[in-house]
Every structure is written in C-alpha cells, then in structure tokens.
Amino acid sequence: MAAISIMGTFATGCNDTPKNQQEMTFDEIVATRRSVRQYDPEKKISEAEIRTLIETAIEAPSWANNQPVRYYVAIDPETVQKIRELLGTSNMRNTADAPVLVVSTFKKGGSGFFRGTPANELGDEWGAYDTGLSNAYFILKARERGYDTLIMGMRDSDGIRKILNIPNEEEVTAVISVGYRVSDPNRPARKSVDDITIFF
C-alpha cells in the first residue's frame, strides 16, 4: 500500500492508549459503535493514533489483494476546517469539534478487473466495495481504542481533491470524522436476520 498522507500534525500530548479504556470483545465493539455527530472539543487525536487505525484497515481483504485504498488525513486544524467546509451544512455541524477528518479513496482500474478488463458488471465499483471493507476495519478499530467516527458521503469531492492533492486516478469515496463522543447516541433499530436473509 502506498504511503499514508497525513496533512499536518497535532501537538496534543496524547499517548497511544486511550485513558479509562477497558478491553472489549468484538461483539461489544460492534454493539457500542455509533455514528457520532457531537465531539468533545477538549480531546484530540494524534498522528500516531490514526496510524494505528490505518494499520488495522490495511488488513482488510481486497480484490486479488490489490489493496486499492488510500487515506488522506486532515489533522492540522486549518486543513480540518478547509475540508469541513466542503461537507455540506449538516456535516459541517456534525463535525464541528471533530479533531481529525480522514478521506478514503481507491485507485481505479485495479479492483474488479482481470488483465485490464472488468471481471464482472461492477467494474470499478468493486473498488468502492474494497474501500467499504477497509473503512469498516478502520471504524471498528477506532471504537476498540475508545474513539468515535462518522462516515460521510455528502462532500465536494473536487474541492477535497484539490486541497489534499488527490490524483485523478483515485476515486474519492468517503470522509470519516474521528474524535471522542460527548454522549451516547441512541442505537437506531436494525432489521432482523429474517428480514434480510433467504436460505436455500
């Protein structure tokens, strides 16, 4: 995987281990993960902590181990604000106090292709599938470490591409805020296994 782009640094004084964080089982990590829209402005996230999350994301499976996913990390407050202003009114408000914004992309023409030809009807859409897998690992590792996230699809991808110097051969997929929740959001209802599954 190509080098991670970290846009700026924070002098936070944070160490790599979240305080008061107890070990959780995988089921507890999944059960306590939420899409968090209100962050504690006093708590910061360091570059080292984000690197730990991306190290886990790298372990996600991808088409033929193509590993098309790339991460661009806005961690300098000025850069964070520039990206935030490209997320639309709702997401600007939702991420007002998030200290880090992470942009995920994938390199086009790899995942979903065999010898340069789309292997099925999805073609480059498989790159988005691989990115989703990688992002899932990222946000679950964040929850294990005591952080919280929000994955956002509404954004000005051209503006983000310009600020972060994202190459044209990469497709911008999502922006993920990272921080610490100030309260526990309600858990939205989920469908049952029978609602979404057919056994043959």
Give 5's pLDDT tier (boundaries 50, 70, 90): low
Q: How far apart are CA 175 and CA 105, in angstroms?
A: 9
Q: Report, as an integer, the average pLDDT of 124-144.
A: 96
pLDDT tens digit sequence for 151-174:
999 999 999 999 999 999 999 999
The more confident residue out of 20 and 174 is 174
Give 21's pLDDT tier (boundaries 50, 70, 90): low
Given a cut of 80, whether residue 19 has pLDDT beyond it is no
Q: Which fold has domain 5-14+23-183?
A: NADH Oxidase (3.40.109)
Q: How far apart are CA 152 and CA 98, in angstroms?
A: 13
Question: pTM for this one?
Answer: 0.88
pLDDT tens digit sequence for 25-73:
999 999 999 999 999 999 999 999 999 999 999 999 999 999 999 999 9
pLDDT at 23: 87
pLDDT at 17: 42
Q: Is 152 helix (H, G, I), strand (E, B) or coil?
A: strand
Q: How far apart are CA 149 and CA 168, in angstroms?
A: 27
HSE (side-chain half, CA atoms, 13 Å) at 162: 6
Given a cut of 60, whether residue 3 has pLDDT beyond it is no
- Boundaries of every domain in the chain: 5-14+23-183
pLDDT at 200: 98
Q: How far apart are CA 135 and CA 159, in angstroms?
A: 21
pLDDT at 144: 97
Given a cut of 80, whether residue 1 has pLDDT beyond it is no
pLDDT tens digit sequence for 72-104:
999 999 999 999 999 999 999 999 999 999 999
pLDDT at 8: 42
Query: Which CA distances in Å does 99 have to 17, 65, 102?
Result: 17, 32, 10
Give 126's pLDDT tier (boundaries 50, 70, 90): very high
